[in-house]
Amino acid sequence: MKFYTSLFFILYIFAFAKAQSAFHNFGDIQIHNQGQIGFHIDLINDGDFDQNLGLAGFYNTQNELFVSGSNQPIFFDMEVDVANDLILEVAVGVSNFLEFIDGRIITPRTEIPTYLNFTNNGNYLGEADPTHVDGYVNNDGDLDFRFPIGDDFRLRTMSVLREDTSFTSYTGAYFFEDPNNTSTLGGALTTSNFQNTLSIISEHEYWDLDGIMPVRVTLTWDEQSEIELLTDQLSSLRVVGFSPALNQWVNLGNSAFSGTESEGELTSDVFEPNFFTAITIGSILRGNGSINVFTIFTPNGDGLNDTFIIEGLETSPNNELFIYNRWGVEVYSKRNYDNSFSGQSNGRVTVNESGQLPVGTYYYVLKLRDQEDIAGPLYINR
């Protein structure tokens, strides 16, 4: 039997709030268009509650509320006004819009599938230090998305800027803790291990981002990030990612930045999130002897950014560059690299008669005679 939300149904829940500690769904509930349901007690969902329109609200001015059960409820519109937080023990979906009014939404950081799930390009408003998701958020869609995530009472958003318009998923969380001693990501992400194009990695915070499609990412900082310890020039900041394959932090670029040392944001070049355990903010070497790798180029013949550029190679003669595809097959190599690679293979792989490589992520290894070798992802976009 299917229940239809109405004034009677809402009053029914309110009337029995004092007689039970939770509303427990074993059956099939659907909120129809213009319907509204308000939960002032916990929700346990062991039935079907995922074909909804209308509004579901969670309200409590004194106590925390819990959502649990074996099945994910998916709401069309949702609002949260729970002073002592709404705690998710099962994933909850929002297919249209969420409004933060009071309190945070808490999701477990050790059980990533239990997240707040924005489906079908769902969105939100009202995020702030006291009103955000403390834990993991998932986004299913084909539009850019800013994750309303934070840690404790600290909002630190992260945005994904999609390069591909296909419908894809990304999952993210923010951690205000030292990456050298992570609480949930499997141990130390040692900040002293980094490419020699980098000079320092933040020890205050990091983000976890999961997804299989290439994106640009925008990270934010505030006074507690202590950006002044990383650099005195914001142009030297870089998004960096910890590569488990290389066991080091890799330069993911700086395609845009804005703000001051006390507040701002930084956008990466294109990379694939699943190749990195965590991402955070670092800064690059500047001055004599520095080598700077630009990890995205667009060989489309427009005369702009048509080749793979590595600045500072004149400081390290007799270098050798190798480029591999995602399966580890060498597609290009050159001794004494001269910034001439335009996406054309000279290795064992040829895609067409011209040897042009397809759009995607590749890996470069730059061998240097008098410095440590440099390696990392490279993205070709036409």
> In terms of Cα–Cα distance, which of 305, 191, 203 is closest to 249?
191
Q: Report residue 301's pLDDT band, with 50, 70 and 90 as the boundaries.
A: confident
pLDDT, tens digit, 9 for 90 and up, residues 199-251: 899 999 999 999 999 999 999 999 999 999 998 889 889 999 999 988 999 99
Strand partners, 137: 116, 172
Q: Mind listing the domains of the chain with CATH numbers?
A: 294-380 (2.60.40)
**How much is the pTM?**
0.74
Neighbours of 377 (CB within 10 A): 25
Residue 351 has what pLDDT?
Answer: 54
Average pLDDT of the chain to the nearest whole number: 88
User: Dihedral angle at the C-alpha atoms of 204, 261, 291, 378, nearest 10 degrees?
Assistant: 70
Neighbours of 378 (CB within 10 A): 23
Neighbours of 170 (CB within 10 A): 22
For residue 110, count CB atoms less than 10 angstroms from its CB and return exposed for 0-12, middle for 13-18, buried for 19 or more: exposed
156 touches 183 (CB < 8 A): no
Neighbours of 190 (CB within 10 A): 15
Is pLDDT of 303 > 90?
no
With tokens 């507040």, the residue in question is 263
Give φ, ψ of 176 to 5 degrees: -90, 80
Q: Please spell the DSSP secondary structure of 14-31, one letter per residue.
A: HHTTTT-SEEEE-SEEEP
